[in-house]
Amino acid sequence: MDLAINGKKHTVANDAPQMLLWVLREQLSLTGTKYGCGEGQCGACTVLVDGAPVRSCLTPASACAGKQITTIEGLEQNGKLHPLQEAFLACDAMQCGYCTAGMIISAAGLLHKKPTPSHEEILAGMQGNVCRCGTYPLILDAIAKAAKGAGHAA
Amino acid sequence: MKAFAYINPANEKEAVAALSPQVEQSMPLGGGQDLLARMKDYVTQPERLVNVKTALESTVTPVGGGLRIGAAMKMADVAEHPEILRMYPAISAAAIEVGTPQIRNQATVGGNLNQRPRCWYYRNEEFVCFKKGGDRCFSPQGENQFHAILGAGPSFIVHPSSLAVPMLAYGATFRLAGPKGERLVPAANYFTLPRQSLRMENVLAPDELLTHVILPAPGNVKSGHYEVRYKASHDWPIAFATVLIAMNGSVVKEAKVVMGAVAPVPWRSAEAEQALVGKSITEATAAAAAEAAMKNARPLSQNGYKVDVAKTAVKRAILRAAGIQTA
């Protein structure tokens, strides 16, 4: 089957139905998307499907045919990091970094829908991502910073 | 997870044909937010999944002054739909509190209504309880702090659906499609108590699909919806309530009080409704109705606190319906 990932068409094997997460990581080596809990609790595996954040560990790859998938690898454009990636770096918004890809993807989905979210809207938009290191205040700062940054267009 | 076959039917008829009358052999897959997690935990192990996201409708259609909602509609779309918000605000309120953005972007209306109980014994493959075809419920003698306080026994699950509660309050009817055609079942008759059917929580047969939710015209009612959780998000409510009131001047002409997470079905309280009719709404009358709602509560060893939480939810939902600000 064909999947459109980060603007490119990929042909993947899906004879035995697989979750999108494993197609990304094992067939396409897109290992930026993380395997956290595997059962839809933590949000580390979040990717965008047609712009909306979903959890790739609970998404059959077959359900994504004909849709645009964006992973953390797809945010950088022409060697330039996405404003969210810049802001996460500038704010030191990670400790171990395992949740970061999912955090940034969820935030990208949020800013895609609401380019200038309020603090409450950021909180609501980030409900589905867990950081075991507890870097939440810095993550919220980073998203607010990226949203405020001039470069970001929805 | 056990290997399974994946069927991608083009329409409702093909989807129904791909199901099986045998329990949990061939199962409809909506957003998969409950089913796939259960499969990963070996709680449910179907041989075949039938994708119904394309076969079923995912849109809202006006019908007879009300709305018809396709079962494949995503929770995020329900939460943001302007007509649902205008006509049935308690449904929007319930939808926005379900899970997280990632869950709401995938989870469907049909999946929310038909998801299985969150009971930790049910969710653990080691415990073969009534809900897995076993011969006992582990909660009365076990850890039961989130279990039922009304209408339960011999299974003590609480119904997990948030949408079921406001939909029952608004008088929804569910359209089911099966091998013999369609049938229309009012929400009030759809959900079943354990003493009616022990293994399943509703009348949907394994070879039937819930295809639409049909909502009648809401009429001139005010609504209030209030949910209480441990965590602010990403959690199931401990107790919640939808309240609809029709006023006659300053007094209540008619009331509907439906509670969630307190019983094995969405629980309509005739006692609370009677307590409101003919009264004006104040803190005191709302509190009296909440007391009435819990009059028949029978808590287990660890969930007595849920009686108080449910009272608070009912009281605040009533006050919200009356436009009185609450916490």
Q: Which two tokens stand for residue B231?
A: 């965590």
Pick B60-114+158-215's CATH classification: 3.30.420.40, 1.20.140.10, 3.30.560.10, 3.30.465.10: 3.30.465.10
Distance from CA of B168 to the nearest CA of A (A): 27
CB contact (8 A) between residue A60 and residue B36: yes
d(CA B128, CA B31): 26
Q: From the candidates B29, B52, B102, B118, which should be mutated to test the interface with A, based on the most A CB atoms within 10 A?
A: B102
pLDDT one-digit tens code per residue, A37-76: 998 999 999 999 999 999 999 999 999 999 999 999 999 9
For Cα atoms B39, A52, A37, give the angle at the middle one, nearest 5 degrees. 35
Instruction: Give the chain A residue whose CA is nearest to the CA of B36.
Output: A58
Can you give the pLDDT of all 327 residues of chain B as single tens digits?
899 999 999 999 999 999 999 999 999 999 999 999 999 999 999 999 999 999 999 999 999 999 999 999 999 999 999 999 999 999 999 999 999 999 999 999 999 999 999 999 999 999 999 999 999 999 999 999 999 999 999 999 999 999 999 999 999 999 999 999 999 999 999 999 999 999 999 999 999 999 999 999 999 999 999 999 998 888 999 999 999 999 999 999 999 999 999 999 999 999 999 999 999 999 999 999 999 999 999 999 999 999 999 999 999 999 999 999 766
**From A62, A63, A125, residue closest to B101, measured CB to CB:** A125
Q: How far is CA B277 from the centre of its chain?
A: 26
CB contact (8 A) between residue A43 and residue B100: yes
Distance from CA of A122 to the nearest CA of B (A): 11
Task: Find out whether B207 and B55 touch, Cβ atoms under 8 Å.
Answer: no
CB contact (8 A) between residue A124 and residue B233: yes
d(CA B89, CA B323): 13
CB contact (8 A) between residue A52 and residue B76: yes
Domains and CATH numbers, chain A: 2-73 (3.10.20.30), 83-148 (1.10.150.120)
The pLDDT assigned to B327 comes to 64
The closest of B100, B74, B34 to B234, measured between CA atoms, is B100
**Confidence band (pLDDT; 50, 70, 90) for A151?**
very low
The closest of B255, B311, B312 to B278, measured between CA atoms, is B255
SS3 string of chain B?
A: CCCCEEECCCCHHHHHHCCCCCCCCEEEECCCCCHHHHHHCCCCCCCEEEECCCCCCCCEEEECCEEEEECCCEHHHHHHCHHHHHHCHHHHHHHHCCCCHHHHCCCEHHHHHHCCCCCCCCCCCCCCCHHHCCCCCCCCCCCCCCCCCCCCCCCCCCCCCCCHHHHHHCCCEEEEEECCEEEEEEHHHHECCCCCCCCCCECCCCCCEEEEEEECCCCCCEEEEEEECCCCCCCCCCEEEEEEEEEECCEEEEEEEEEECCCCCCEECHHHHHHHCCCCCCHHHHHHHHHHHCCCCCCCCCCCHHHHHHHHHHHHHHHHHCCCCCC
For Cα atoms A118, A121, A123, give the angle at the middle one, nearest 5 degrees. 115
Task: Find out whether A46 and A74 touch, Cβ atoms under 8 Å.
Answer: no
CB contact (8 A) between residue B234 and residue A127: yes
d(CA B72, CA B55): 8
Q: Is residue B271 classed exposed, middle or buried when 0-12, 13-18 and 19+ CB atoms within 10 A define those classes?
A: middle
Distance from CA of A39 to the nearest CA of B (A): 5
**From B4, B32, B102, residue closest to A53, measured CB to CB:** B102
Domain boundaries, chain B: 1-52, 60-114+158-215, 222-321
Instruction: Give contacts of A55 with chain B, Cβ < 8 Å.
Output: 102-103, 106
Q: Is residue B298 classed exposed, middle or buried when 0-12, 13-18 and 19+ CB atoms within 10 A define those classes?
A: exposed
What's the ipTM? 0.87
Query: How many contacts, defined by CB atoms under 8 Å, are there between A and B?
Result: 70
Instruction: Give the chain B residue whose CA is nearest to the CA of A18.
Output: B3
Q: Which residues contact A81 (CB under 8 A, 6 or more apart)?
A: A75, A89
Distance from CA of A34 to the nearest CA of B (A): 15
The pLDDT assigned to A15 comes to 77
The closest of B225, B187, B219 to B87, measured between CA atoms, is B219
CB contact (8 A) between residue B106 and residue A46: no
Secondary structure letter of residue A11 according to DSSP: E
The closest of B201, B193, B120, B188 to B153, measured between CA atoms, is B193
Q: Does domain B222-321 have CATH number 3.20.10.10?
A: no
The pLDDT assigned to B198 comes to 96
Instruction: Give the chain B residue whose CA is nearest to the CA of A50.
Output: B105
Q: Which residue matches tokens 């047609």?
A: A50
Instruction: Give contacts of A124 with chain B, Cβ < 8 Å.
Output: 101, 233
Kindly list the strands in the beta sheet with A8-11, ordered across the sheet, starting from the edge strand earlier in the chain: A8-11, A2-5, A68-70, A46-49, A52-55
d(CA B211, CA B55): 9
pLDDT at A154 over 90: no
**Confidence band (pLDDT; 50, 70, 90) for A153?**
very low
- Measured in Å, how far apart are chain B's first and last C-alpha atoms? 43
d(CA B137, CA A79): 58
Task: Find out whether B233 and B100 touch, Cβ atoms under 8 Å.
Answer: yes
The pLDDT assigned to A152 comes to 45
**Confidence band (pLDDT; 50, 70, 90) for A149?**
confident
> What does CATH list as the number for B1-52?
3.30.43.10
CB contact (8 A) between residue B101 and residue A53: yes
- The contact set of A with B (CB < 8 A) is 16-17, 19, 38-40, 43, 46, 49, 52-55, 58-60, 62-63, 106, 109-110, 124-129
Average pLDDT for chain A: 94
Distance from CA of B46 to the nearest CA of A (A): 13
